Amino acid sequence: VDEADLGRFWKRLVPADGQRAKAAATTPRVWLDGRVAASLDRSTAQIGAPAVWSAGYRGDGVKVAVLDTGADQSHPDLAGRVAAAKDFSGSSGTNDVFGHGTHVASIVGGSGAASGGSRQGVAPAARLLVGKVLGDDGFGSESQVIAGMEWAADQGADVVNMSLGSSGATDGTDPMSQALNDLSRRTGTLFVVAAGNEGEQGPRTVGSPGAADAALTVGAVDRDDSLAPFSSRGPRLGDDAVKPDVTAPGVGIVAARATGSAMGDPVDEHYTAASGTSMATPHVAGAAALLAQRHPDWTGAQLKDALISTAVTVHGQKVTEQGGGRIDVRAAGLGAVTATGTLVMGPFTSRDTEPVTSGVRYTNSSDEDVTLSLAVQLATEGGKAPAEGSARLGSDSVRVPAGSSAEVPLTVDPARAGQGKFYGYVTATTADGSVAAHTTLSLVVHGPTHRITVKTIDKDGEQVADLPTIWGAEGFVGYSDPAAAVAEVEEGVYQLNTSWTTSAEDGEELRHVVLPEVRVTKDMTVTLDARKTVPVEIRTPRPAEQRGIMSYQTYREIGGRSLTQGTMYFDIAKRLYISPTAKVTEGT
């Protein structure tokens, strides 16, 4: 009920004495707006699993390893479901004391027996392998995880679920990521890995081994496909490639509860609700198991491509947040067409003059030829597109024969594209305009790097030792030589600012020096001069005096990325001086 309607609503709900019986028939009924959790029956439907089950695919004959905190094999949903188990943690054996592994395993392939089948996993007929790589406290070492990965591959796992990872971001060259890449290449196993839960720290928060090239890395969405705030997001540290690869339901997921455990929000004796990319990941691992039954000749890389290229892209989410989008196993398993999942083009520099060509492959699993219209679209976060013709397809359509594949070349010309980090998709549509498949793209072209020397001058004209904040379209920039206040930055526009207090007769004066639009095109010296600041006057309709807190905020947007900085001082700050600035020409 809107606030403006509360009075009228209350009078109708509680009429005056003597009118209750007369009004009863028209009086609205009221229920509390209770909390809603996404049970497995809802989240499996969200990814299209029931349609695949109805077609006869439930994961039969497919092995899925769950590397986690073990599993409670006495749980009704997991009883008889585990084909092999091994402990790598040196703890209490393969049983799950912590509760995380049981929850995850049941999302992959639980029978749902404790709920009459309503809370069955995505692949309820898959054979589960349990590798306990995390101890009873929920933690483990990289060597334990790698040992579990090797064991799973040796056991013949088609898919390995890894709802685990490091909290620190990585570029994919760390030991776990490299082990994952090597095992994927040698065995054809698909490793499905959680992106992590560091999303509220911003971009570049995908950890290990989710940063691995070969990993199918999973972010989390809620029941409405909105990105979960905690879901770690890309681009990947280092080369700015797209990670995560896909998303799946991971908010308030009700699944199996290990005996005696208190992980999540317990629902009853057998089930608990939990949120995280840990819960999203087994939805994808289970989906991969359904595909593996449908296409037993497909490698892990092909399973990965199919799930990425048929996912549902969500409007308003960045490519580096959702990858290919929220998985749709019905489209991946029962649809006619799949495509190359992801292409990483670059990173290049603007001095790279040779065009580079990659192939986009389309596979038609149906018994009829398919003709697809093709289009490529790329843009930076700020909406800037690469120069026209710098990313071009060899053809704007392709005919894919029944039961076969066809490849279309995609050529990029980095020297022509222009500096930027461009993300988007190659989209393939059918004759009726519906999207059959898409390929996630990243094109990164770096500009020249320049050295800036930063000088800071106080109100008396003296140079002082200081390291002002440097911020641009790619975030904060550190100093390569702090002692000399020297930073190396890519060519572009930056904001520099610093602030400090100085003593006055009646207290402290706060000075904020800001240069909102420093355009770096060469090695240069940038000077922040407090002598150029001017006092801020606060005028009120009636006479007033300053008491308590003085606070203010500054806002800047460059290249689609924004920065809000807040400053707060108490009674000691009597006056504020700030740099007068012209209206910026790039961003806001």
Reported confidence tier of residue 3, pLDDT bands at 50, 70, 90: low
pLDDT tens digit string along 35-62?
Answer: 434 567 799 999 999 999 999 999 999 9
| Mean pLDDT, residues 143-156 | 97
Q: Which phi and psi angles does 474 have, rounded to 5°?
A: -105, 15
pLDDT at 524: 96
Residue 561: what pLDDT?
85
pLDDT(16) > 80: no
For 67, phi then psi, to 5°, come to -95, 110
Average pLDDT, the chain: 92
pLDDT tens for residues 238-265?
A: 999 999 999 999 999 999 999 999 999 9
Given 166, 232, 275, 278, which residue is catalytic?
A: 278
State residue 474's pLDDT score.
85
Answer yes or no: 167 catalytic.
Answer: no
On whether the pTM is more than 0.85, the answer is yes
Under the banding of pLDDT at 50, 70 and 90, the label for residue 28 is: very low
**Res 171: pLDDT:** 95
Told to judge if 395 belongs to the known catalytic residues of this protein, a careful annotator would answer no
Write the CA distances from 577 to 378, 458, 469, 573, integer angstroms.
43, 12, 18, 11
**Helix 277-294 and helix 100-109, axial crossing angle in degrees, nearest 10:** 30
Which domains does the chain possess?
1-34 (no CATH), 38-335 (3.40.50.200), 343-446 (2.60.40.10), 449-578 (no CATH)
Give the pLDDT band (50/70/90) at residue 545.
confident
H, E, C per residue of 138-159: CCCCHHHHHHHHHHHHHCCCCE
HSE-CB at 457 with a 13 A cutoff on CA atoms is: 13
CA 335 to chain centre: 26
Options 72, 75, 89, 100, the catalytic residue:
100
pLDDT in tens, 457-509: 999 999 999 999 999 988 899 999 999 999 999 999 999 999 888 888 877 88
Q: Could you tell me what percent of the chain has a pLDDT over 90? A: 81
Strands (E), 388-474: 391-393, 397-400, 405-412, 420-429, 435-446, 449-457, 463-464, 469-472
Split at pLDDT 50, 70, 90, the class of 26 is: very low
- Looking at residues 282-308, what average pLDDT do you find? 98
pLDDT at residue 1 in the model? 57
Catalytic residue among 39, 43, 68, 75: 68
pLDDT tens-place string over residues 358-393? 999 999 999 999 999 999 999 998 889 999 999 999
Report the alpha-carbon distance of residue 69 to residue 87 in Å, rounded. 9
Residue 408 pLDDT > 80, yes or no? yes
Confirm whether 460 is a catalytic residue: no
